[in-house]
């Protein structure tokens, strides 16, 4: 089981395109990448979940951890997701109140650029 | 009544294997696709919790998964040999008020399974039982 992670810069944001299944086994790879981005000075991060087929509580925990890191630098962490089965996970856990969730990368980067 | 039993090593890499096996069983049992999605998440959460519990107990014991088909639906039971643990959401937030992984996990489990309960196992550890309905 592989998790694909690609990072590109759009506007003033680091956009992280994630592909595959984020679970207790693969989530550490995403955690490392997000920690690396913040330590390199990327404080406005957009995580694109459109290519994600599966997300569990460990994956949610990684996103919450990254949010705390960027907030410590007055940054932002936004998500891009339109898939009902993934959005459902955020709704059940109440995290729709914690993360800005956008329909597209353009919308997410525009919101982050203010 | 069909019964399938699976034992996997207590390593996180095997959670995906159980997820794949049980989603195939769920489809062949005729569950609706949205119930299959719910089952995949709930089973993954229960298996991840069992793997982490066994790691806590520091024992080289497997995670056991039992799948039973009944007239009403599916019952999945996931067993570990870890410490007896019953999370209380109001006590399990971090210093900034965010829910911990285990609380997020149990929120998902209880929301996605039609019925979910956790009981101590004979010989030590915990068992998580979850049920999922058949269509109609």
Q: What is the pLDDT of residues A75-98, one digit of tens each?
A: 999 999 999 999 999 999 999 999
pLDDT at residue B102, as a whole number: 86
pLDDT at residue A82, as a whole number: 98
Residues in contact with A74: Cβ distance below 8 Å, sequence separation at least 6, in sequence order: A43
Within 10 A of A42 (CB to CB), how many other CB atoms are there? 20
pLDDT higher than 80, residue B85? no
pLDDT at residue B101, as a whole number: 87
Q: Are strands A101-102 and B3-8 parallel, antiparallel or unpaired?
A: unpaired
Q: In B, residues 24-83, which contact A (CB 8 Å cutoff)?
A: 34, 37, 40-41, 44-45, 48, 51-52
B100 — contact with chain A (CB < 8 Å)? Answer: yes
Which of A23, A61, A85 is opposite residue B104, by nearest beta carbon? Answer: A61
Do the Cβ atoms of A93 and B104 come closer than 8 Å? yes
pLDDT at residue A87, as a whole number: 98
Q: Do B44 and A54 touch (CB under 8 A)?
A: yes
- For B118, the token pair is 């956790």
Q: Which of B10, B15, B35, B36 to mutate to test the interface with A (most CBs of A within 10 A)?
A: B15
pLDDT higher than 90, residue A113? no
B114 — contact with chain A (CB < 8 Å)? Answer: no
The nearest CA of chain A is from the CA of B40 a distance in Å of 9
Q: Do A25 and B41 touch (CB under 8 A)?
A: no
Do the Cβ atoms of B116 and B73 come closer than 8 Å? no
pLDDT band at B94 (very low <50, low <70, confident <90, very high): confident
Classify B14 as helix, strand or coil.
helix
Closest CA to B40 of A85, A61, A79: A85
């Amino acid at each position: 089981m592989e998790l694909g992670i690609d990072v590109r810069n759009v506007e003033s944001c680091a956009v992280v395109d994630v592909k595959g299944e984020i679970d207790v086994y693969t989530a550490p790879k995403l955690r490392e990448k997000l920690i690396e981005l913040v330590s390199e000075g990327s404080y406005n991060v957009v995580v694109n979940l459109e290519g994600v087929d599966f997300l569990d509580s460990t994956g949610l925990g990684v996103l919450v951890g990254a949010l705390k890191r960027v907030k410590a630098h007055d940054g932002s962490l936004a998500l891009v997701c339109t898939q009902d089965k993934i959005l459902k996970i955020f709704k059940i856990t109440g995290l729709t109140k914690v993360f800005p969730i956008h329909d597209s990368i353009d919308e997410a980067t525009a919101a982050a650029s203010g | 009544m069909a019964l399938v039993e699976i034992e996997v090593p207590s390593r996180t890499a095997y959670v995906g294997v159980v997820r794949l096996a049980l989603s195939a069983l769920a489809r062949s049992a005729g569950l609706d696709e949205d119930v299959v999605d719910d089952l995949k998440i709930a089973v993954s959460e229960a298996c991840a919790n069992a793997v982490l519990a066994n790691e806590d107990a520091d024992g080289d014991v497997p995670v056991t998964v039992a799948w039973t088909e009944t007239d009403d639906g599916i019952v999945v039971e996931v067993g570990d040999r870890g410490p007896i643990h019953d999370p209380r959401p109001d006590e399990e937030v971090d210093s900034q008020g965010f829910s911990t992984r285990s609380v997020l996990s149990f929120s998902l489990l209880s929301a996605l399974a039609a019925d979910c309960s956790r009981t101590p196992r004979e010989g030590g550890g915990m068992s998580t039982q979850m049920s999922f309905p058949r269509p109609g």
